[in-house]
Amino acid sequence: MLDGSFAQTVLLATGNAGKIAEMQRELKSLGFAVVAQSEYDFPEAVEDGLSFVENAIKKARHACLHTGLAAIADDSGLEVDALNGAPGIYSARYADGQGDAANNQKLLAALDGVTRREARYQCVIAYMQHAQDPTPILCQASWEGEIAHQPAGSNGFGYDPIFYVPEFDCNAAELDTEQKKTLSHRAKALALLKTALDQ
């Protein structure tokens, strides 16, 4: 466990403001000062792995190599059963990099007329102390739901507007931040990471 009297700087390998704020908030109590990759001038990692695990490790190792800092990276995405797990690792660039709204519209179009719409968010977080770290910490969690027929809500990003949460009878983007903390794939994976780092 880290001494809370000093902060260990750890790089978060993302430019996503929502992820950065969440990670800063959650890891502060453990004595980590989380800085964003955007504060350093180096190219983003090539995400050519075939799984969330591979891509998370690639991003963390890449960040370590370029900064000399410990790094945290996550790879997450949406798996839709009716589409054989797509968009999966390609979730963020499903609509050729045109953004969240385009991704959502493409997915809704792909499921047009489909009745069984089971889906889940997956998240893998990797923590590496240095680029040659032979035993990175890996934490994986998922969030089960369905794909709604139309978008709703504004509290979220990615596929949240069309990710239906049966137990709350609403879409993920309609949940408040506190509810998401206990439900989301990223929140659950982050809780596992906090436990691992605390030990």
Q: pLDDT per residue over 87-145, tens digit each?
A: 999 999 999 989 999 999 999 999 999 999 999 999 999 999 999 999 999 999 999 99
Residue 3's pLDDT band (boundaries 50, 70, 90)?
A: very low
pLDDT > 90: percent of the chain: 77
The second-level CATH assignment, the architecture, of 8-198 is Alpha-Beta Complex (3.90)
Q: Which of 10, 23, 9 is nearest to 186 (CA)?
A: 23
Mean pLDDT score, 142-161: 95
- For all residues of the chain together, what is the average pLDDT? 92
**Do the bridges between strand 8-12 and strand 32-36 make them parallel or antiparallel, or are there none, so unpaired?**
parallel
The answer to whether residue 4 scores a pLDDT higher than 50 is no
Any catalytic annotation for residue 100? no
Q: Strand ranges (DSSP E) for the chain?
A: 8-12, 32-36, 70-80, 118-128, 137-147, 163-165, 170-171
The ranges assigned to domains in the chain are 8-198
Q: Which of 41, 74, 75, 160 is catalytic?
A: 75
Please list the residues that pair with 119 across neighbouring strands: 80, 145
